[in-house]
Structure 1
């Protein structure tokens, strides 16, 4: 098979009409040869690179070439097992990238479906910088719901999630559960790429089809388990609530969203509580309890007022301030409360005062005793001061004293 049949089959690959049929036999021989790695590296892989090199292909659609490429994608696991990392990256990865960017949906679906088989062969840098941008670009531009769903599954694989077994796999093929490869930890994308690259792509989904929404739910579940709590609270949870209220979701699908929302909300609550507790212990306030006066009035009275607690005042200071009930001030009639009767002498003096009052004149000064009746004044008229005789302007105080002097006829 290796020395006679395989070389004859590879020679016939020049016939494009027989490309897919010949490649099926070639990969069957590879699965049977004990030295398949050496034979694949020397004979098969160079031939595949020559046939499917995207740089030499025209933009026109070639159905025969697409059929042969589909056979290659279906045997991606066999190719990865018989290639080293560098060989796969240099010779096979360009073929897979051209299939992902193909205009044929079946090729794109097959390429994305084979990611779990090829990721363990590639290094982290290649996955992040070469493979992921191509998948993200196709996911954002495609109008096919099937490609949207397959792209979400690809994001789950790229984030290190498990490869979900498809519904058509009944487990009766004899290979057992080990046939599904698990993505190695080295091939999982970093947290920054998950948060800053994948989540915006999920958020930008416009369709409300249940299949796409449930596929996006799987992406947000794996990203939410790895993202920061702040990012989960501010970005992921609003997206989940928005998707959960889709009009096409049934009860079971809605409950799947709410279950993840509760799970992530509980995680945010626990980590935020733990953070605040550690902060309180660090500040030495873990045993402190809030005071009953921890409000605006708890800062104390204004300094200098009668209700300033620092001056030894009691709680009735405010009442004494309003009603004037003070015992330490003078006992004159001015210090009495607002609700006390006025002094009779004061009322009499206000009525019987013979002093003439003018709009410009100043009230008559009182004696040392408050509100005593003023002494009788001689009955003569007041003289208005000649303000024009002043050589320089006077302020309000000067005018007051000059007016007072003229009232008592001592102005010269």
Structure 2
């Protein structure tokens, strides 16, 4: 809120001070910074030119401040001020304040614009009349440095020399109110309100009109009597020596914090008394606060006799002004007159001088001079070291305000190459001072341009310094911009040293990357490097070693086993390797193998322990039996079998039933360490095993296959059935049968079966009939006769015909036992058959010969 209050106060003040003043149409007022002029009547405002946005200062005189004076005095003062501004506007010199806009008058104010101004020397020495309340923070605790004081006096003396020798004009009011400190810290002469020109400017010894002070004039209408030369009062005369006396008092006041030799209290009579009392008998003790080498010369300047005083040119050559810092500032202010060779000599020695200069002087006095050289590209390499040295002393805010705006265009330069070299050496400074947006938009593109440069030296320097400031680069820029360029340079460069530096740079960047970025972006590019020079191999090896050993990274066993070790092993036999390099590669390979072994063994042990915990204590059956009840006999141990035993694949071969009888001590220890609950569980399992073994084997019931609607016809079965149906085999004696029944031997069609049981599909049905049971009433064929009870008959062995029994598609499943004819001809199955009488043939039946039987059976 305090900021807004001050802003509102400033705006309100300006609205009352500058209503209708033409200066406000071209300049935008920012804030009130100081005061200057006779009685500090002029308010100094920081401003900006509306058309060019350049900084400026606006001096404003409020006429209401003169209301306390009479009309005559008020008009006299205004006329003096107008005359002083007009004279200032006409003068152009580096030591004289530059007017940018002439004075404009309105009904309530006078105003004019000048170069940017910090404040007046009177404000620096503690005079606060007509100053803002509270004073500007920049002015709080402001102290002048020795180099600023000396160079300020030098500038004032040069300005006086210009006035006295070139313009032929006296200032006649040289005091702190008439000295303005500009934004760069330079002292500029102003306040020409009491200035007077020579009556005979062409004469080598010009004369000037006397001052003619009137006792009844207000203090603002006459010079500051504390700085006025004695001859102006006592002899009513003045010349160039009068201004030198004022300069001597000014030197004394600056070194005494604004106090003068005496205080005339704005009275001419009091001034005469002070002159007789203090100046005519000036002792060396009164000058004790001055530098030792300046006392004598200042005493000469304060002499009552004008001829003894040094002139302006002689003063500028005094020994106490011959300071290294003063000379440096003087050189910088006059460099525009020199050629590039002379400038280069000054700039080369400038960093050593800057180290001894205060930061404010370097930032506000030296830096603007250096920034002017940016337009001369050939001089930029000579200027940059000093600029970056000043940047180290400046705060981040000062760097962004005073240094960075001029440096941004230099970031884009690629020639001369020394510019990139200097920036690369100070890259950490730039990344520390620059805001993130400027780093992304200006600094990092310069790094990328250095990597893509054709100069080998630039590439190597950039690669060497990138790890030093890698912690300042944000992750997306590192991943998406910097690393791809380094990898591309490593693969495409033709210089061995550049490729090695790329690998070293990648190795040093690992600690700033995460594990997966290394696995995805860094390691895959290493096998793509075609060159196999020992230095390159050592660079590759270093990356693998760092990635494996770094606590934040680490390589997985899969990467080491599948990618890294197969890549490193062929490198061990490269011809160019020395013994130490070979041992280094082998050491890394062994470390990786050991790491894979350790990690994978731990995994397998963990899996094995889980498997043992989940497996049953006893197996349901002997796992060594390939066929139940059949085991292979153990063979004698041999070298071959022992090898496979060591490889752990002997379990895949048959072992003796007692192979598991002998157990290792570890297994015994595990059994002995069973808890009571585990023992109870084992006892229950053993009891269950015994109960299962004691039960008979279960034979699954044979499913009855459904008869398909259209099934393929079995020609063999059909032929056998038809032949058997047409045959009637009789015994030769007609009384006995080799089958234990009737000589009649026939087949019965499907219709002769009882409905109590379905017949087997396509299976021949054999009927054995006795002679006595084959009588049929009424001459009906025997197969249509009603069956009668039959006596129990002896079972006939028909196993010889089993081989003739065909297997059909609808028979039992593969592997199931096939029913025999004896099972099919059980006594219970014959109750449903119908007896048929023997067929009486007209001719005796001829027995089949052996060849016929073979043909039939085939």
Q: Return the TM-score normalized by structure 1.
A: 0.61
Match of 2:525 in 1: 201
Q: 1:265 aligns with which of 593, 598, 617?
A: 593
- The alpha-carbon distance between structure 1 residues 247 and 305, as it changes in their structure 2 partners (threshold 3 A), is closer
- The alpha-carbon distance between structure 1 residues 406 and 222, as it changes in their structure 2 partners (threshold 3 A), is same
Query: What do you get for the CA RMSD once the two structures are aligned?
Result: 3.5
How far 1:277 sits from its partner (Å)? Answer: 1.3
- How far apart, CA to CA, are the structure 1 residues paired with 2:403 and 2:615? 73
Match of 1:151 in 2: 502
Map 1:167-178 → 2, pairs under 5 A? none
Asked if the contact 2:411–2:442 (Cα under 8 Å) also holds between the matched residues in 1, the reply is no
Q: 1:252 aligns with which of 557, 580, 605?
A: 580
- The alpha-carbon distance between structure 1 residues 109 and 404, as it changes in their structure 2 partners (threshold 3 A), is same
Asked if the contact 1:113–1:150 (Cα under 8 Å) also holds between the matched residues in 2, the reply is yes
Q: Verify: 1:35 aligned to 2:394, yes or no.
A: yes
Q: Which segments of structure 1 move beyond 4 Å, counting only runs of 4 or more?
A: 285-289, 303-307, 395-399, 401-408
Q: Verify: 1:5 aligned to 2:361, yes or no.
A: no
- How far apart, CA to CA, are the structure 2 residues paired with 1:306 and 1:396? 46
Instruction: Give 1 or 2 for the bigger CA radius of gyration.
Output: 2
How far 1:106 sits from its partner (Å)? Answer: 1.2
Asked if the contact 1:41–1:82 (Cα under 8 Å) also holds between the matched residues in 2, the reply is yes
Match of 1:228 in 2: 556
Q: What are the Cα deviations for residues 17-38 of structure 1, in whole angstroms up to 9, with x where unaligned? A: 112111112122223xx43423
Partner SS, residue 612 of structure 2: coil
How far 1:66 sits from its partner (Å)? Answer: 1.6
- How far apart, CA to CA, are the structure 1 residues paired with 2:530 and 2:384? 40
- How far apart, CA to CA, are the structure 1 residues paired with 2:536 and 2:584? 14
Match of 2:452 in 1: 101
- How far apart, CA to CA, are the structure 2 residues paired with 1:396 and 1:143? 95
Q: 2:406 aligns with which of 38, 42, 47?
A: 47
Partner SS, residue 249 of structure 1: coil
Match of 1:83 in 2: 434
- How far apart, CA to CA, are the structure 2 residues paired with 1:288 and 1:108? 68
Partner SS, residue 394 of structure 1: helix
Q: Verify: 1:16 aligned to 2:341, yes or no.
A: no
- Could you list the runs of 5+ residues in structure 1 that have no partner in the other structure? 55-62, 161-187, 308-391
**Would you tell me which structure has more helix in proportion to its own residues?**
1
- The alpha-carbon distance between structure 1 residues 405 and 145, as it changes in their structure 2 partners (threshold 3 A), is closer
- How far apart, CA to CA, are the structure 1 residues paired with 2:601 and 2:538? 31
Match of 2:771 in 1: none
Map 1:8-407 → 2, pairs under 5 A? 8-31=369-392, 34-53=393-412, 64-160=415-511, 188-225=512-549, 226-284=554-612, 299-303=624-628, 394=719, 406=852
- How far apart, CA to CA, are the structure 2 residues paired with 1:201 and 1:253? 22
How far 1:80 sits from its partner (Å)? Answer: 2.4
Asked if the contact 1:210–1:249 (Cα under 8 Å) also holds between the matched residues in 2, the reply is yes
- The alpha-carbon distance between structure 1 residues 6 and 305, as it changes in their structure 2 partners (threshold 3 A), is same
Number of residue pairs matched?
A: 282
- The alpha-carbon distance between structure 1 residues 404 and 26, as it changes in their structure 2 partners (threshold 3 A), is same
Asked if the contact 2:424–2:465 (Cα under 8 Å) also holds between the matched residues in 1, the reply is yes
- How far apart, CA to CA, are the structure 1 residues paired with 2:631 and 2:420? 93
- How far apart, CA to CA, are the structure 1 residues paired with 2:425 and 2:370? 19
How far 1:210 sits from its partner (Å)? Answer: 1.3
Asked if the contact 2:381–2:422 (Cα under 8 Å) also holds between the matched residues in 1, the reply is yes
- The alpha-carbon distance between structure 1 residues 157 and 86, as it changes in their structure 2 partners (threshold 3 A), is farther
Using CA pairs below 8 Å that are at least 6 residues apart, which structure has the higher relative contact order?
Answer: 1
- How far apart, CA to CA, are the structure 1 residues paired with 2:419 and 2:463? 17
**Greater CA drift, 43-52 or 215-224:** 43-52
Q: Return the TM-score normalized by structure 2.
A: 0.30
How far 1:255 sits from its partner (Å)? Answer: 0.6
- The alpha-carbon distance between structure 1 residues 275 and 306, as it changes in their structure 2 partners (threshold 3 A), is closer
How far 1:269 sits from its partner (Å)? Answer: 0.8
- How far apart, CA to CA, are the structure 2 residues paired with 1:117 and 1:202? 23
How far 1:395 sits from its partner (Å)? Answer: 6.1
Partner SS, residue 275 of structure 1: helix
